[in-house]
């Protein structure tokens, strides 16, 4: 509602414009190949496993993100989370469609909200992203994942701590397709996506492909 009456400003540069001005939309830093085929980290040349993921047990078959998590993307995602602006969701979807090839799966799902945080906002960008992407890909959406408990904030934790923090946090309710695209807004260490993929695998999914809007690249 407020969208319609307030003068609009770009959530990245603050200029009076649409919620994301066309200059900022075109400048969002797309992730470009070559990539690690498995975990999606940008690499100097195409590899099947990279230094980052070799030797790690990953529950997902692949992970792809559309943009690097820089300051502009951080501002964009914060606005999307806090203000539930539908045009930001549409912009995120357009960039994912531009950068990430459609996953070869039967169904699309998303990382579910933390019980405390998601409900307060009554709005969950990963679900919105999953629904809009599924429509573009011509695939159904399912929501079999639940959180068993709230996780501590991942910020400031090491990779091993992040893994422990989210281990066993997800449960699956109901049947799961054999191949699933798992959508989230940001891929940081991959610990959360991996824990969710692991729950889907234990419930019978044979292949899980992660798709996120943004990705932290170290
Ligand atoms: Zn702008
Ligand atoms: Zn890798």
Q: Where do the structural domains in the chain lie, given as residue ranges? A: 10-215
Distance from the alpha carbon of residue 116 to the mean position of ligand 2, in angstroms: 32
Ligand nearest to the CA of 37: 2
- Ligand number, closest to the Cα atom of 16: 1
For residue 68, report the distance from its CA to the centre of ligand 2, in Å: 16
Mean pLDDT of 7-34: 94
Ligand nearest to the CA of 22: 1
Number of alpha carbons in the 13 Å side-chain half-sphere of residue 170: 23
Tens digits of residue pLDDT in 146-170: 999 888 888 888 888 888 888 899 9
DSSP strand pairing (107-110 vs 179-187): parallel
Distance (angstroms) between ligand 1 centre and the Cα of 6 equals: 17
How far, in Å, from the CA of 124 to the mean position of ligand 1?
23
pLDDT at 177 over 60: yes
Distance, CA 17 to ligand 1 centroid (Å)? 8
Tell me 58's DSSP state. -
Q: Which residue did the predictor score with more confidence, 161 or 69?
A: 69
CA of 200 from ligand 2 middle (Å) equals: 21
Which residues lie closer than 8 Å to 73 by C-beta, 6 or more apart? 28, 29, 67, 214
- Which of 133 and 1 is assigned the larger pLDDT? 133
Question: Domain 10-215 carries which CATH code?
Answer: 3.40.50
φ and ψ of 20, to 5 deg = -135, 115
């Amino acid at each position: 509602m407020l969208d319609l009456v307030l003068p609009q400003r770009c959530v990245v540069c603050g200029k009076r414009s649409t919620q994301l001005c066309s200059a900022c939309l075109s400048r969002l830093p797309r992730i470009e190949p070559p990539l690690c085929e498995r975990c999606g980290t940008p690499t100097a040349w195409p590899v099947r496993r990279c230094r980052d993921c070799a030797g790690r047990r990953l529950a997902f078959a692949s992970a792809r993100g559309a943009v690097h998590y820089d300051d502009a993307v951080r501002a964009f995602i914060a606005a999307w989370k806090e203000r539930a602006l539908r045009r930001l969701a549409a912009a995120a979807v357009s960039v994912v469609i531009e950068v990430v090839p459609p996953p070869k799966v039967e169904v699309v799902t998303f990382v579910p909200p933390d019980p405390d945080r998601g409900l307060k906002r009554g709005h969950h960008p990963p679900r919105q992203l999953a629904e809009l992407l599924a429509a573009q890909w011509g695939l159904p959406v399912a929501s079999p994942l639940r959180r068993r408990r709230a996780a501590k904030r991942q910020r400031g934790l090491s990779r091993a701590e992040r893994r422990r923090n989210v281990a066993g946090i997800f449960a699956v309710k109901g049947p799961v397709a054999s191949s699933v695209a798992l959508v989230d807004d940001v891929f940081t260490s991959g610990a959360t996506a991996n824990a969710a993929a692991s729950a889907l695998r234990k419930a019978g999914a044979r292949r899980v492909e992660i798709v996120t809007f943004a990705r932290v690249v170290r």
